[in-house]
Structure 1
């Protein structure tokens, strides 16, 4: 069957089992992974959409890291080297789009929020059906899914890393022990820079202010803990927030909903 289908990217060595080819434009597979499972560095000839039905995964590349929490997806353009790590148990749906299928799709790695329509199309395209029914269904579903992908709202789930090695070392140290209250003066002092110079260099290297980058790093630390059921209070205080309200405000600003709503009441407290 594989040899008879054109314009489909088959990446059987990337995942634990072969994927299901659903059309000449998109290859789809759904897989349940345990916490700690890691898919090593690889690339695709076509673009890829990774959707987390539940759980939290982290995608890493030379350009940075991206979080893929529930009801979000990550668009990865062709030929981008990346690895995937499951931070908790994850049900992951993967779609690889044939090269040249759509020119208007994103040209950079982009985290998006999955709408109800997109979710329904994703689930439908990953749902195995009798072989005779697949071509007809997919001729309707796939073009609409590709149209919808280009309209999904972008979310700030990226954590870009600077290319400057000294600055990257500070960022890696922060990711290992994030704190919402770590002052910019300490970062600048460690690099023997003035606050103004550090601010300019950090934004040039990452595209973000230190404040925004720090919040996103804290969000990266919080999501897998919240998804595994830890209380919001515990996570917020561990990350150095003065109050639960401050943490909730940050969370809602970044992801569009407070923790309990966002994670479907999986969190304690």
Structure 2
């Protein structure tokens, strides 16, 4: 059954019956719109995949609930609850839903406002932005200037460059040997992975490996590994698994060691971070 329908306000609605054809129809609908900004609500079942695609508008992809993983040519980006991913216009990207996902997306013309981000990045949502986006998905596209709807959309545009960046991107190397090692680590994360072991597997010297890895990803192996561990941990923690189980499964010697890493990367221990992320928005309805 198709998950694509146009409401009386002129907005499409995506539901759990969403198909690849529905997604192509949505993109065509977006490309035909006037106006600087439009907001849409989507509901996806667990493990739903959106194939690689691009659009002429930039996208602010907000996970109201659930965890989203987005892949671009530059890497993988994790969007846990209460975060968003900024995807610049014409960036090819694919999406995987980890668990059931309630998504709210804001699509913006690149010329709509100065200082819009020019690269993909995960951002934290402020209380103000959360409320604005939840409200915006109820509004018709291309509102008349000076109306309440137009003011809401204008404030969203003004707030986008102010959103705080979060270290939830995972750059991937183009080199096939290094990419294979990174994929293997994502399949079985461990804090005990060493530079020497990775260099041996890639048939490279330690010095050549460290230079190549930083050149390809912009990160040291240690920093990349910590971000990859967050990729493995966040969906499980958001799904309600105990911190102890996740920490031990990832190979940490203690919950304290895992918590230290988590706090260093995200600014709060897992319990507080997830508690704040689960706080409901002013209106969490679809």
TM-score range, shorter chain: 0.7 to 0.9
Paired position in structure 1 for 2:101: 90
* Distance (whole Å) between structure 2 residues aligned to residue 261 and residue 81 of structure 1: 34
Where do 5+ consecutive residues of structure 2 fail to align?
1-5, 7-20, 279-286
Among 176, 190, 193, which residue is 1:165 paired with? 176
Partner of 1:32: 43
Q: Secondary structure at the match of 2:106?
A: strand
Instruction: Deviation per CA, 1:53-89: give whole Å up to 9, x if none.
Output: 1110000112110000011110000111001110111
Q: What's the RMSD between the two structures over aligned residues?
A: 2.8
SS in 2 for 1:211: helix
Please report how far the alpha carbon of residue 241 of structure 1 lies from its aligned counterpart in structure 2 after TM superposition: 0.8
2:129 corresponds to: 118
Secondary structure in structure 2 of the residue aligned to 1:263 = helix
Asked if the contact 2:143–2:150 (Cα under 8 Å) also holds between the matched residues in 1, the reply is no
Question: Which secondary structure state, in structure 1, belongs to the residue aligned with residue 236 of structure 2?
Answer: helix
Query: Structure 1 stretches of 5 or more lacking a match?
Result: 3-11
Aligned residue for 1:143? 154
Query: Match of 2:23?
Result: 14
Query: Deviation at 1:214?
Result: 0.5
Where does residue 246 of structure 1 map in the other structure? Answer: 257
**Alignment check: 8 A CA contact 1:57 1:68 kept:** yes
Cα deviation digits, residues 2-24 of structure 1 (max 9, x gap): 9xxxxxxxxx9427979899982
Check conservation: 2:39, 2:133, Cα contact below 8 A.
no
Give the whole-Å Cα distance in 2 for the aligned partners of 1:132 and 1:194.
60
The aligned length equals 257
Whole-Å separation in 2 of the counterparts to 1:255 and 1:185: 28
- In structure 1, distance between residues paired with 2:92 and 2:136: 25
Q: 1:264, CA displacement in angstroms? A: 2.0
Displaced runs of 4+ in structure 1, greater than 3 A? 15-23, 131-135
Structure 1 residue 52: Cα displacement: 0.7
In the TM superposition, residue 132 of structure 1 has moved relative to its aligned partner by 9.1
Residue 103 of structure 1: CA displacement? 3.2
Q: Contact 2:61 / 2:86 at 8 angstroms: preserved in 1?
A: yes
C-alpha distance in 1 between matches for 2:277 and 2:134: 22
Number of the residue aligned with 1:7: none
TM-score (norm 1): 0.87
What is the aligned partner in structure 2 of residue 73 from structure 1? 84
Question: CA deviation digits over 1:33-55, x for unaligned, max 9?
Answer: 11101111110101000001111
Structure 1 residue 189, shift from structure 2 partner: 1.2
**Which deviates more, 44-53 or 24-33?**
24-33
